[in-house]
Structure 1
């Protein structure tokens, strides 16, 4: 039996064709860069892909925001669940109109992509992390869903961690509310752990899954999702099975191949 080879994670990342990384809890938390985030960007350069279940921002908006934090990642290498679900809705309902539960900025992005919006008689409902969603619109959405209007969900995350590791409500918490009211609700999820975001990164980077890696802080959405498409995952953060608390520590480790 051959012995397993050990290599520094920094060298492994440099040799990989694509390095995928989650955002919240890995690169930033509570609007602040986390240890090692800038080092990872400088190390991987054009091989780095931000693959996030974020459904609050467009890639352009997020790239500008991150640059202000000293994290320079171009929009074309930022893949987001919010944009993904909007593009899928546009493809499936090219002549229809959508009820979009999202931040104003993401709704403006949807309109820029030719998606017609309505709250009255939608052909589809799109659920994202709408931090300003009020009871009236939520009730109206549930009314439409009870009549069979299809629901497309950006991501299933119940929460993401802030700087102190405390939970910040996510899209999945809004979905849970809907499912409580409508126990037989049918819907389709587009963010991690579903394969679409991972496959987009592989397609756009031209990388094979076996030559890629994923850094995430969620064992289900990041790690299980990556494994399902053949990408090797590395778990960081506060989870009991995490290899390191942050990217800075991960970069200093040796890992087995």
Structure 2
């Protein structure tokens, strides 16, 4: 067995730290262990609806203390990406405060008049009018960006259509594929690592989905852990052509590794 140092941790939120608004076993203790040992870490989420402040408060209500500067969303990654590609550009946006705030802070102008981009995020109030406007602007030459490819998202009453599903509708109408910034795009991980000064060789990714968290971690060269408290089941792991480095029952099983800073693969 090889022994590796783990100095930086990236972890998904839903299905790893919390389920809805309830902390999962070991989540609070894991974060406290990282803090106590001065480990660098970020909580990553494809959910672009909320600001880091909102998400920090949500985690806090479940008993998990994560400061807002330790949260990296697909909205922040999208704002970072477009502002680097086209500084002080303009965008027509379908989304909530998490996305619009990130774009404003990145120096973008939000406009429906010849925007450089159409940026599709998530909202619980998708409207026919806004989707029609997006389609017309893309056909008129606007570049098509989507925060994340997730087709569905969770709710207390069952699944909801998410950004990926609406993006498919827009693609069907325009024949234009969006550029997805969130997981599994490795750019989400690279920007996160840049934010905390981490290196891929000594960074671990914890996720509950093989098709977003684990594949992105593998492609970014990270050490990967799959927890079984979310979407992917143990039997489903075998159906994928790639593998996590370890499959564990929950984040509670990783507390000792967070404490020691080393893992055997």
Match of 1:107 in 2: 100
Moved more, 97-106 or 220-229: 97-106
Alpha-carbon shift at residue 256 of structure 1 (Å):
4.7
Moved more, 235-244 or 167-176: 235-244
Please give the alpha-carbon distance, in whole angstroms, between the structure 1 residues aligned to 2:59 and 2:70. Answer: 13
Please give the alpha-carbon distance, in whole angstroms, between the structure 2 residues aligned to 1:208 and 1:109. Answer: 25
Does the 8 A contact of 1:29 with 1:161 survive in 2? no
Match of 2:142 in 1: 149
SS of 1:151's partner is strand
Q: 1:104 to 1:47 in 2, by over 3 A?
A: closer
Does the 8 A contact of 2:148 with 2:164 survive in 1? yes
SS of 1:233's partner is strand
Does the 8 A contact of 1:86 with 1:126 survive in 2? no
Alpha-carbon shift at residue 163 of structure 1 (Å):
7.0
Does the 8 A contact of 1:25 with 1:217 survive in 2? yes
Match of 2:28 in 1: 38
Q: 1:113 to 1:202 in 2, by over 3 A?
A: closer
Does the 8 A contact of 1:25 with 1:160 survive in 2? no
Match of 1:208 in 2: 199
| Structure 2 residue 183 is the aligned partner of structure 1 residue 192 | yes
Q: Which runs of 5 or more structure 2 residues have no equivalent in the other structure? A: 238-246, 258-262
Match of 1:175 in 2: 167
TM score, norm. by length of structure 2 = 0.81
Does the 8 A contact of 1:100 with 1:117 survive in 2? yes
Please give the alpha-carbon distance, in whole angstroms, between the structure 2 residues aligned to 1:103 and 1:189. Answer: 17
How big is each residue's C-alpha offset from its partner over 1:151-188, in whole Å with a ceiling of 9 and x where there is no partner?
11111111244579x53432212112212323x21321
Match of 1:54 in 2: 47
Alpha-carbon shift at residue 252 of structure 1 (Å):
7.8
Does the 8 A contact of 1:25 with 1:161 survive in 2? no
Runs of at least 4 residues of structure 1 off by over 6 A? none
Please give the alpha-carbon distance, in whole angstroms, between the structure 2 residues aligned to 1:88 and 1:18. Answer: 22
Please give the alpha-carbon distance, in whole angstroms, between the structure 2 residues aligned to 1:206 and 1:91. Answer: 19
